[in-house]
Copies of this chain bind each other. A is one copy, B any other.
Amino acid sequence: MNLSEMNKEQLLKFKDDTQQLYNDFRSKGLCLNMARGNPCKEQLELSVNMLHSFDDNDFISTNGIDVRNYGLLDGIPEAKKLFSDMIGVDDDEVIIFGNSSLNAMFWTVQTAFNKGVLGNTPWSKLDKVKFLCPVPGYDRHFKVTEFFGIEMINVPMTLTGPDMDMIEKLVSEDEEIKGIWCVPQYSNPDGISYSDDTVRRFANLKPKAKDFRIFWDNAYCIHHLTENPNYILNILDEAKKAGNENLVYIFGSTSKITFPGAGVAVMGASRENVENLKKHLGISIISYDKMNQLRHVKFFGTFENMIEHMKKHMAIIAPKFKLVCDMLRKEIAPLGIGEWTEPEGGYFISFNAINGCAKRIVKLCSEAGVTLTGAGATFPYGIDKDDRNIRIAPTYPSMEDLEKAMELFIISVKLASVEKLLDDMK
């Protein structure tokens, strides 16, 4: 029975029963963390052989440079080849960074502040800088723009990507809008992949600001959860067709392919963007870790092998996503107290509770030993005005722990929902 159809007496009974279940759970003393999209131990094991990929007598890159020494600011040629394939650009349209694409994004924004974008006024000299933020979105993106004092404007997500009508209108009218955060494939947290139409509309944007850039964080470009995945359109190709090739910065990493702590991050962009950014990058570093670049290249060999490697990840984590969705479908759907995505890739399930319940659900889970991403975290400034979105990260716990954690989550959703409905009757 849908909870909204219950009368007060039924609701009170439902509340008492649920409270009892919650109390029982709390007494078990769980301690589980589903706050971040961390790979689990079995996933980490998939890449351990990479540590033995070196030939101790050969550390020479294809261009003759010893990867152990200084030099090659933008990466070794063989890493440029492999990772430009990964993010869909040519190998002279790429910069290989360190172990963190977040760090690469932070640096790119910071460089726009200090030096401007392709000869335009440094953002630090402007009265105001604004970014569009599809919501819900990735909390760490929003923290970067917040750090720099950038005003963030929410743009609602749809099933085909962010609201493009709104984006086209805003960027064509407001010169202070300098960027937008996008996770185009298996978006964080919704797991939505942008439709071809959405990608083309992005590529054809005509922003009023010449230095507007799309921050295309393709973090989950090959992180599929199905056998026959759909790929999004190549944004740089489409931007070139539109005569708009400087419009986009593409980011990616192997954080969830090899090791989150010790992967390789990469940025793709037009040659003009890349050349310009490299001039600034050279002030802050001599070179990133080229040994780790070569280690990755030797381990994978080709991009095709990387795709095969991702199937091993899928085999480990797809059942976890299925478990979460199955449990929600069984326990939450009949009650009409939540909606969620069933993603075909990425790292998250986005759950929308009844308005006004997200914070309470996260608190209930926390007090019974399961840490979730903070409610509101998926919105700029941590403000989910409807207080309804919760990001579920199912990859890290074991199947057994995940089932327990989801049992608690479901009980917490029920309890928070019935509390809210009763409260609304007052």
Residues of A at the B interface (CB closer than 8 Å) are 36, 38-39, 41, 44, 48, 51, 54, 56, 59, 66-71, 98-100, 102-103, 106-107, 110, 114-115, 124, 140, 143-144, 147-148, 255, 259-262, 280, 283-292
Smallest Cβ-Cβ distance to A48: which chain B residue:
B56
The CA of A148 and the CA of B103, in the complex, are separated in Å by 19
B99–A288 contact, CB under 8 A?
Answer: yes
- A162 to chain B: closest CB distance in Å? 23
- List residues of chain B with CB within 8 A of the CB of A290: 261-262
- List residues of chain B with CB within 8 A of the CB of A102: 284-286
6 residue pairs of the A-B complex, CB under 8 angstroms, read: A38-B70, A71-B261, A98-B289, A259-B291, A260-B286, A262-B290
A261–B70 contact, CB under 8 A?
Answer: yes
- List residues of chain B with CB within 8 A of the CB of A283: 106, 143-144, 147
The CA of A284 and the CA of B143, in the complex, are separated in Å by 9
B259–A68 contact, CB under 8 A?
Answer: yes
- A223 to chain B: closest CB distance in Å? 15
B292–A289 contact, CB under 8 A?
Answer: yes
- List residues of chain B with CB within 8 A of the CB of A39: 69
Among A262, A291, A292, which residue has the most Cβ atoms of chain B within 10 A?
A: A262
The CA of A115 and the CA of B283, in the complex, are separated in Å by 20
The CA of A147 and the CA of B107, in the complex, are separated in Å by 14
Among A67, A71, A110, A280, which residue has the most Cβ atoms of chain B within 10 A?
A: A110
The CA of A106 and the CA of B106, in the complex, are separated in Å by 13
A66–B44 contact, CB under 8 A?
Answer: yes
Given A71-B261, A287-B261, A41-B66 contact (CB < 8 Å)? yes
Smallest Cβ-Cβ distance to A259: which chain B residue:
B68
- A413 to chain B: closest CB distance in Å? 27
A114–B147 contact, CB under 8 A?
Answer: yes
- A375 to chain B: closest CB distance in Å? 20
The CA of A270 and the CA of B11, in the complex, are separated in Å by 57
- A22 to chain B: closest CB distance in Å? 29
- List residues of chain B with CB within 8 A of the CB of A284: 102-103, 106-107, 144, 147
The CA of A253 and the CA of B358, in the complex, are separated in Å by 45
B100–A285 contact, CB under 8 A?
Answer: yes
The CA of A139 and the CA of B54, in the complex, are separated in Å by 34
The CA of A36 and the CA of B143, in the complex, are separated in Å by 38
The CA of A253 and the CA of B285, in the complex, are separated in Å by 13
The CA of A136 and the CA of B225, in the complex, are separated in Å by 58
B44–A69 contact, CB under 8 A?
Answer: yes
A291–B261 contact, CB under 8 A?
Answer: yes
